[in-house]
Structure 1
């Protein structure tokens, strides 16, 4: 299958490489930065382009992998083509593409956090698809199954809730790691000392439900310890985060 990527960021990098390895032909990489397009295209034997009007019209699949707030602008500029158009957003509707393509459009959403410098195994990454027709969904499903062992059809409404849950599970938890690292840095303690705890916390929810895995002073709402921690925090915003999370943990533990 001939595939064009519109975008060259973290997700586009990993997804294009995985699709290439599974036997697909990545024919073009578009990016507003020609250097970024060249960097990714060089890994895929693809043509780099920075003019969206230069995108070929004969590909089978066009994957829009750009920031959510840039997607509509990019789609508006896209020349008419054949094939199927998909975006990779967890929070935007499939029908956003229908304004510019009458049929053959959908969503191809891998649920994972991606960084260019870190390898991922797509076989373990769930992919959620949606199409404007049974034919489109069948095509997307067959492509997704080439790289992933978990492929599901999910409509826009449910996908939005999935994305919300993923923000809590990934983005917010990582932010608390940042807050923890700042506390340690201020007192010359290396962040590495927390890594065994972080690994065990993640491992527990692979075997237990999150409610059963929860521990700490907030479950029993140990006010003396909680207040001592609050007094140690200098930043008012971080104090509020600590208070809100402690109250939420206590509420959900009952």
Structure 2
């Protein structure tokens, strides 16, 4: 059984705690949090510590904090030559203090505290400085996920940027769509089957082959009608930018 300490109390930390708690191959020996009450609902209160000097020995230490805090947190760990990893998609492995063996344990998923996650489908992107440490991370990752990948820091940065486009930006477009519906007293739920089908299509099609709509068809009449209908300048600018991007992409074919 692999003994793990998790450092952090945010969304990623809480979801990892819940996932590891369900695994027979993992024992969470401690969780570090400045605010113990933030984790009271997800793990035994006696396992939560708020002083770095109270951290006991474990096989793996997972730092699940904001990107800007990773370096400082890793410097404050009161031990050396143990496996310490972070969970960031954007931060390099070099962000970690060199006094310990460094690695990355990045779950590529969007996390909200109120939404349960099936970790068996979450891609786990792993990086380590040597084969032995990678095998430790791989064993831990496979205890909760069926999708484990060796991904270096440069590749992870590319994945993270891509994830912003397909997740964060896409969700913002959902918000804009909801605002337009609300403004005109149309229930947003009417769009949910379309959103679902769009996501389902790219399970079997490349996004370029799944693209439809007036920009793809170069339907200038519909495009101009949409732009005339929109009264919000920000929405108009986004519409124009995305329309142009789709049309430019079509010209490359």
Structure 1 unaligned runs (5+)? none
- Rate the CA distance shift 1:93–1:28 in 2: closer, same or farther, 3 A: same
CA RMSD, aligned part only? 1.6
Corresponding residue pairs, total? 249
1:214 corresponds to 2:211: yes
Give matches, 1:25-174, under 5 Å: 25-42=27-44, 47-56=47-56, 58-81=57-80, 83-97=82-96, 99-102=97-100, 104-174=101-171
Whether contact under 8 Å (1:59, 1:82) holds in the other structure is: no
1:193-213 deviation line (CA, Å, top 9, x unaligned): 110000000011111111111
Runs of 4+ in 1 over 3 A off after TM superposition: none
1:169-195 deviation line (CA, Å, top 9, x unaligned): 111111100010111111111211110
What is the distance in 2 between the residues matched to 1:5 and 1:136?
17
Structure 1 counterpart of 2:186:
189
Structure 1 counterpart of 2:3:
2
1:5-46 deviation line (CA, Å, top 9, x unaligned): 11111111121221221121112222222211333323xx76
Q: CA deviation at 1:49?
A: 2.0
What is the distance in 1 between the residues matched to 2:176 and 2:134?
42
Q: CA deviation at 1:81?
A: 4.9
What is the distance in 2 between the residues matched to 1:139 and 1:20?
18
Q: CA deviation at 1:225?
A: 1.4
- Rate the CA distance shift 1:106–1:6 in 2: closer, same or farther, 3 A: same
1:65-110 deviation line (CA, Å, top 9, x unaligned): 111122222223222255310100111111211x3424x2200011
What is the distance in 2 between the residues matched to 1:142 and 1:217?
48
Q: CA deviation at 1:152?
A: 1.3
What is the distance in 1 between the residues matched to 2:15 and 2:39?
14
Q: CA deviation at 1:54?
A: 2.5
Structure 2 unaligned runs (5+)? none
Whether contact under 8 Å (2:214, 2:223) holds in the other structure is: yes
Q: CA deviation at 1:234?
A: 2.3
Whether contact under 8 Å (2:81, 2:99) holds in the other structure is: no
- Rate the CA distance shift 1:53–1:231 in 2: closer, same or farther, 3 A: farther
Whether contact under 8 Å (1:37, 1:49) holds in the other structure is: no
What TM-score results when the alignment is normalised by the length of structure 1?
Answer: 0.92
